[in-house]
C-alpha cells in the first residue's frame, strides 16, 4: 500500500499531528467537532522571558492560528505560574515580597512576548487565582487513594498506585529508581513520589488547606486550571520538550487519578533552542532575553527565523541566522507591498467565484491558477504536522509567481488581485508574518508629497546627467531610512525595513 507524496499531503485528509504520547503522526480529531481546546504550559514568572520561551510560544501561536484558519473554534489557555521555589528565591535575592516579584515579571514577560508579536492566548490563568481549585483537586486524589499526607502536612502522589505512570515519558517507575538520582526522602513512601502540596516552611508564602499552611507542588496547578478552564479531557496540551518529564507525566497522573478520565487527547512538545551551537544557560553567559533581542532585531525577522524550523526540531539561534531571515523576509515584504498597491481601491469582498468569473485573459488565468496551487500546497504543508518550513517555501514560490504577474503587462481584473492578495496575506498571517502595517506611503500623504517633489528634482538632475546631485539625493534619503529605486516607469520610494 504505497502512498505517494501527493496522497500523503491530500488536504482532505485534514490535520495530522505528531503526538508525544505515541510518538506517531496521527490524524487530529477534536473531541468536539469544530472546537479545539488547547492548553500550553506558560511562564514561571521569576525572570524576564527569553528567546527559548519565545520559540515555544511562537510555535503554539502558529498552531493556534492555523487551526483557526482551518475553521476551528479554538480556545487557547496558558498558565502563569506565580507560586514556585524559584520565585521565592529570586524575590528573596531582590529583597522584595514574593507577590511583588511575580507581579513585576508577569507584566514584563507578557509584555515582551506581546512585543515580539505573539498573540495572547484567549485566557491566562494564575496559580494564585486558583488555590481553591488546586486544594479541591488534591482532595479528590486523596479520596481516590492515590495520594497521602505526610507528618509535616505535605501531600504526596503515590506513584506506585498509578497504573500507566510513565506512559508519556516512556519509562517505568522501576527504571526511574534505577537512575538513582532521586534522593530518598523519609517523608515519601517511594522516592519517585512527588509533592501535590508542600507544607510551608517559616517565612514562605503560604495558603490555608485541610493539611495546614502550605503551597501547591509544581505540577498540580496545570491539572487544576486546565480542568477549570477547558474541562477534562481537552484536545491539545503543549509545552517545551523538557516538560515531558516530570511535569507533564505528573499532570497526567494527577488528573487521571482525580477524575478517572483521560487528561489531554494529544501532546505537543516543541524542540529546544540553542545559541550559536551551545545550550543556552546563564552560566555560559549566552542567555538572551526577548528584551535584549528586540533591541537588536526586528520582531518580524525573529518570528520568520523561528518559523523556518519545524516546531519539534531543535533550533540554533544565531545572529547570522536572524540576518539571513531578515533578508529572506524582505523579499516577501516587497512582494506584499507591490500586491497591496494592486488591490488598493478594490472594495468588493474577496470571493473565489468572482475571481473565477473574471479570469478571462491568459494573465488572469495564470494568476488564478498560481493562487489555487499555492493554497493547496500551503494547506497540505500545514496539515502535515504544521510544517512551517514547507509553508514558507510555498509562500516564496507563490511570491515568485506574483512578481511575474506584477511585471506582466496584460490586464488583470482587480478581483483576481484581491483573491491572490488575500491568499498571500492570510497564509502569511498564519505564519505570524505580515502583522505590521504596510511600510508604504498610503497613510502619510504629506510625506509622499514631499517625496514626489524630491524625486522630481532628482529626475531633472538625471535628465541633465548630473549624477552627483542625483546620487546625493538618493544617498541622503538612504541615511534617513528611505530607499529610492529607479524603475522603468520612474522612481519609487519606500521605507527601508
Question: Binding of RNA at residue 212 (CB under 7 A)?
Answer: no
Q: Which three cell numbers stand for residue 466?
A: 548630473
Cα–Cα distance for residue pair 453/493, rounded to 1 Å = 12
Least Cβ distance, residue 357 to RNA (angstroms): 28
For 65, residues 6+ apart whose C-beta sits below 8 A from its C-beta are 119, 429, 430, 431, 432
Interacting residue with RNA among 19, 28, 48, 52 (CB under 7 A): 52
Backbone angles phi, psi at 25, to 5 degrees: -85, 120
Question: Binding of RNA at residue 39 (CB under 7 A)?
Answer: no
- Nearer to RNA (CB atom), residue 101 or residue 259: 101
Q: Are 154 and 211 in contact (CB under 8 A)?
A: yes
Interacting residue with RNA among 98, 310, 342, 366 (CB under 7 A): 310
Give me the 367-406 binding string for RNA, x by CB under 7 A, dash otherwise. -----------------xx-x-xx-xx--xx--x--xx--
- Nearer to RNA (CB atom), residue 202 or residue 277: 277
Show the CA angle centred on residue 66, arms to residues 62 and 71, nearest 5°. Answer: 150
Cα–Cα distance for residue pair 45/427, rounded to 1 Å = 33
- Nearer to RNA (CB atom), residue 448 or residue 486: 486
Q: Which stretch binds RNA (CB under 7 A): 47-55, 114-122, 228-236, 426-434?
A: 47-55
Residue with cell 516607469: 489
Residue with cell 551551545: 278
Question: Binding of RNA at residue 11 (CB under 7 A)?
Answer: no
- Nearer to RNA (CB atom), residue 171 or residue 206: 171
- Nearer to RNA (CB atom), residue 118 or residue 308: 308
Question: Binding of RNA at residue 407 (CB under 7 A)?
Answer: yes
Q: 163 to 192, contacts with RNA by CB under 7 A?
A: 169-171, 175-176, 178-179, 181-182
Question: Binding of RNA at residue 327 (CB under 7 A)?
Answer: yes
- Nearer to RNA (CB atom), residue 347 or residue 463: 463
DSSP 382-418: HHBT--HHHHHHHHHHHHHHHHHHHH--S---HHHHH
Interacting residue with RNA among 70, 188, 259, 474 (CB under 7 A): 474
| Long-range pairs for 30-35: beta carbons < 8 A, 24 or more residues apart | 30/72, 30/235, 30/265, 31/233, 31/234, 31/235, 31/265, 34/71, 34/72, 34/73, 35/72, 35/73, 35/74, 35/75
Q: Which three cell numbers stand for residue 287?
A: 542567555
Least Cβ distance, residue 238 to RNA (angstroms): 8
Nearest to 243 by CA among 264, 271, 263, 217: 271
Give me the 253-292 binding string for RNA, x by CB under 7 A, dash otherwise. -----------------x-xx-----xx------------
Nearest to 127 by CA among 141, 117, 137: 137
Least Cβ distance, residue 377 to RNA (angstroms): 9
Q: 63 to 102, contacts with RNA by CB under 7 A?
A: 86
Q: 122 to 151, contacts with RNA by CB under 7 A?
A: none
Q: Which three cell numbers stand for residue 51?
A: 528567546
Size of interface with RNA, in residues (CB under 7 A): 82
Question: Binding of RNA at residue 245 (CB under 7 A)?
Answer: yes
CA distances in angstroms from 163 to 193, 235, 256, listed in the order given: 14, 22, 10
Least Cβ distance, residue 283 to RNA (angstroms): 10
Interacting residue with RNA among 16, 37, 53, 414 (CB under 7 A): 53
Cα–Cα distance for residue pair 282/341, rounded to 1 Å = 47
Interacting residue with RNA among 15, 17, 36, 41 (CB under 7 A): 41
Least Cβ distance, residue 102 to RNA (angstroms): 13
Question: Which uninterrupted H or E stretch holds 134?
Answer: helix 131-143
Question: Binding of RNA at residue 337 (CB under 7 A)?
Answer: no
Question: Binding of RNA at residue 239 (CB under 7 A)?
Answer: yes
Backbone angles phi, psi at 313, to 5 degrees: -85, 150
Question: Binding of RNA at residue 244 (CB under 7 A)?
Answer: yes
Nearest to 388 by CA among 422, 433, 355, 423: 433
Question: Binding of RNA at residue 445 (CB under 7 A)?
Answer: no
Interacting residue with RNA among 55, 64, 70, 366 (CB under 7 A): 55
Give me the 454-473 binding string for RNA, x by CB under 7 A, dash otherwise. --------x----x--xx--
Least Cβ distance, residue 153 to RNA (angstroms): 20
Question: Binding of RNA at residue 5 (CB under 7 A)?
Answer: yes
Nearest to 287 by CA among 487, 49, 78: 49
Cα–Cα distance for residue pair 91/93, rounded to 1 Å = 5
Question: Binding of RNA at residue 240 (CB under 7 A)?
Answer: yes
Question: Binding of RNA at residue 439 (CB under 7 A)?
Answer: no
Question: Binding of RNA at residue 410 (CB under 7 A)?
Answer: no
Residue with cell 501561536: 61
Cα R_g (the chain), whole angstroms: 27
- Nearer to RNA (CB atom), residue 139 or residue 204: 204
Amino acid at each position: 500500500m504505497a502512498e505517494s507524496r501527493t496522497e500523503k499531503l491530500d488536504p482532505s485528509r485534514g490535520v495530522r499531528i505528531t503526538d508525544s504520547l505515541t510518538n506517531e503522526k496521527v490524524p487530529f480529531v477534536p473531541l468536539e467537532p469544530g472546537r479545539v481546546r488547547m492548553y500550553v504550559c506558560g511562564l514561571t514568572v521569576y525572570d524576564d522571558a527569553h528567546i527559548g520561551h519565545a520559540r515555544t510560544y511562537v510555535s503554539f501561536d502558529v498552531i493556534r492560528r492555523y487551526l483557526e484558519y482551518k475553521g476551528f473554534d479554538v480556545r487557547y489557555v496558558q498558565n502563569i505560574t506565580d507560586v514556585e521555589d524559584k520565585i521565592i528565591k529570586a524575590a528573596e535575592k531582590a529583597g522584595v515580597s514574593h507577590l511583588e516579584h511575580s507581579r513585576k515579571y508577569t507584566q514584563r514577560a507578557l509584555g515582551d512576548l506581546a512585543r515580539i508579536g505573539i498573540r495572547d492566548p484567549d485566557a491566562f490563568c494564575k496559580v494564585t487565582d486558583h488555590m481553591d481549585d488546586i486544594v479541591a483537586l488534591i482532595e479528590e486524589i486523596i479520596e481516590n487513594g492515590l495520594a497521602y499526607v505526610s507528618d509535616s502536612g505535605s501531600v504526596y502522589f503515590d506513584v506506585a498506585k498509578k497504573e500507566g505512570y510513565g506512559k508519556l515519558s516512556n519509562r517505568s517507575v522501576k527504571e526511574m529508581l534505577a537512575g538513582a538520582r532521586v534522593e530518598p526522602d523519609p517523608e515519601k513512601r517511594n522516592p519517585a513520589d512527588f509533592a501535590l502540596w508542600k507544607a510551608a516552611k517559616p517565612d514562605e508564602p503560604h495558603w490555608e488547606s485541610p493539611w495546614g499552611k502550605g503551597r501547591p507542588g509544581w505540577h498540580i496547578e496545570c491539572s487544576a486550571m486546565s480542568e477549570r478552564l477547558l474541562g477534562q479531557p481537552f484536545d491539545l496540551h503543549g509545552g517545551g520538550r523538557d516538560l515531558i518529564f516530570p511535569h507533564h507525566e505528573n499532570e497526567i497522573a494527577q488528573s487521571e487519578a482525580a477524575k478517572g478520565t483521560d487528561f489531554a487527547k494529544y501532546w505537543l512538545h516543541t524542540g529546544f533552542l540553542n545559541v550559536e551551537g551551545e545550550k543556552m544557560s546563564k552560566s555560559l553567559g549566552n542567555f538572551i532575553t526577548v528584551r535584549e533581542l528586540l533591541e537588536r532585531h526586528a520582531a518580524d525577522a525573529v518570528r520568520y527565523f523561528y518559523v523556518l524550523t519545524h516546531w519539534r526540531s531543535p533550533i540554533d539561534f544565531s545572529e547570522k541566522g536572524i540576518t539571513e531571515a531578515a533578508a529572506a523576509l524582505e523579499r516577501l515584504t516587497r512582494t506584499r507591498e507591490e500586491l497591496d498597491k494592486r488591490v488598493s481601491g478594490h472594495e468588493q469582498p474577496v470571493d473565489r467565484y468572482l475571481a473565477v468569473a473574471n479570469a478571462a485573459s491568459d494573465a488572469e488565468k495564470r494568476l488564478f491558477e498560481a493562487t489555487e496551487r499555492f493554497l493547496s500546497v500551503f494547506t497540505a504543508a500545514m496539515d502535515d504536522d504544521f510544517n512551517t518550513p514547507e509553508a514558507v517555501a510555498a509562500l516564496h514560490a507563490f511570491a515568485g509567481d506574483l512578481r511575474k504577474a506584477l511585471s506582466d503587462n496584460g490586464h488583470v481584473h482587480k478581483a483576481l488581485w484581491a483573491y491572490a492578495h488575500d491568499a498571500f496575506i492570510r497564509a502569511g498571517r498564519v505564519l505570524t508574518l505580515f502583522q505590521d502595517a504596510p511600510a508604504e506611503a498610503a497613510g502619510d500623504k504629506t510625506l509622499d508629497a514631499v517625496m514626489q517633489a524630491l524625486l522630481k528634482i532628482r529626475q531633472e538632475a538625471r535628465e541633465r546627467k548630473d549624477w552627483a546631485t542625483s546620487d546625493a539625493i538618493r544617498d541622503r534619503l538612504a541615511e534617513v531610512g528611505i530607499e529610492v529605486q529607479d524603475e522603468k516607469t520612474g522612481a519609487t520610494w519606500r521605507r527601508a525595513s
